C-alpha cells in the first residue's frame, strides 16, 4: 500500500480566481512551486491525487466536457515542472435546486462534495492507499473537514481561502488544520521531511 498526498486544486495548486471560479483552461494559473511540489511528492513515493469540488457544473457555468479541458490544462502545466498527477476526483454537484441556467441533474445533495468523503473513498478503493501515512493539503475548511473525517493529517495553506472560511460553519466549531503553511511547496516539504520531526515523513 502506498501513501498519498491529496491536493485540493484551486487555491492550492491553481490560483483561486474568485467569482464563479475557473470556467475554462485559460483561467488556470498555477501557484508558484506547485509543479515542483507534485514532482517531489512522486519522487518520495507518494501518490499525487487531486480532490476538488466543481459546483460550476451544477450551476451551469461549465459542462463536463469543458471541465475535462480545465483538468487537462492543470495536468499540462504541472507536468512542465515534472509534476505528474495520478488521478483527479471531482464533485460536479451542488445542493441548490432550481437555479436559472443550471444543470438539474447535478443539483443534488451528495456524499462527494467536500466535506463529504466519497471522493476520498473512491481513491482509496482504486489505489489501495495507506491512510495512516497520507496527507491532505487544502485552502478551505471544507477540505480540512473532509480530511479529518477520513483520519488524514490535514495541512492548510495561506493561498486561496487560507482556511479562513469559517462562515461555512455557523452552527458548529470549524475544523482546524493540523498545521498551516505559506503554500503547497512548504506543506509538501514538511510532509517529506524526516519523521523524527513529528510529521508524516516519507514512505518506508
Catalytic residues: 8, 10
Query: What grid cell was written down for 185?
Result: 511547496
Query: Scanning the structure block, which residue is given the C-alpha cell 511540489?
Result: 37
Q: Which DSSP string do the residues of 176-197 spell out, in sequence order? A: --SEEESSHHHHHHHHHS-GGG
Helix/strand/coil percent split, the chain, to 5: 35, 15, 50
Rounded Cα distance, 64 and 91, in Å? 11
Amino acid at each position: 500500500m502506498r501513501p498519498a498526498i491529496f491536493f485540493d486544486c484551486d487555491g492550492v495548486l491553481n490560483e483561486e480566481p474568485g467569482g464563479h471560479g475557473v470556467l475554462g483552461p485559460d483561467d488556470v494559473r498555477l501557484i508558484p512551486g506547485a509543479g515542483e511540489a507534485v514532482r517531489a511528492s512522486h519522487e518520495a513515493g507518494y501518490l499525487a491525487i487531486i480532490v476538488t469540488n466543481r459546483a460550476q457544473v451544477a450551476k451551469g457555468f461549465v459542462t463536463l466536457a469543458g471541465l475535462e479541458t480545465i483538468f487537462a490544462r492543470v495536468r499540462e502545466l504541472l507536468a512542465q515542472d515534472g509534476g505528474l498527477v495520478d488521478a483527479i476526483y471531482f464533485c460536479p454537484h451542488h445542493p441548490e435546486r432550481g437555479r436559472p441556467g443550471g444543470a438539474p441533474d447535478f443539483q443534488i445533495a451528495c456524499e462527494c462534495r467536500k466535506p463529504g468523503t466519497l471522493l476520498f473513498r473512491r481513491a482509496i478503493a482504486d489505489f489501495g492507499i495507506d491512510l495512516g501515512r497520507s496527507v491532505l493539503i487544502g485552502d478551505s475548511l471544507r477540505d480540512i473537514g473532509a480530511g479529518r473525517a477520513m483520519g488524514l493529517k490535514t495541512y492548510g495553506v495561506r493561498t486561496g481561502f487560507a482556511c479562513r472560511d469559517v462562515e461555512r460553519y455557523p452552527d458548529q466549531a470549524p475544523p482546524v488544520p493540523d498545521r498551516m503553511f505559506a503554500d503547497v511547496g512548504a506543506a509538501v516539504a514538511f510532509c517529506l521531511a524526516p519523521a523524527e520531526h513529528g510529521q508524516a515523513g516519507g514512505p518506508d
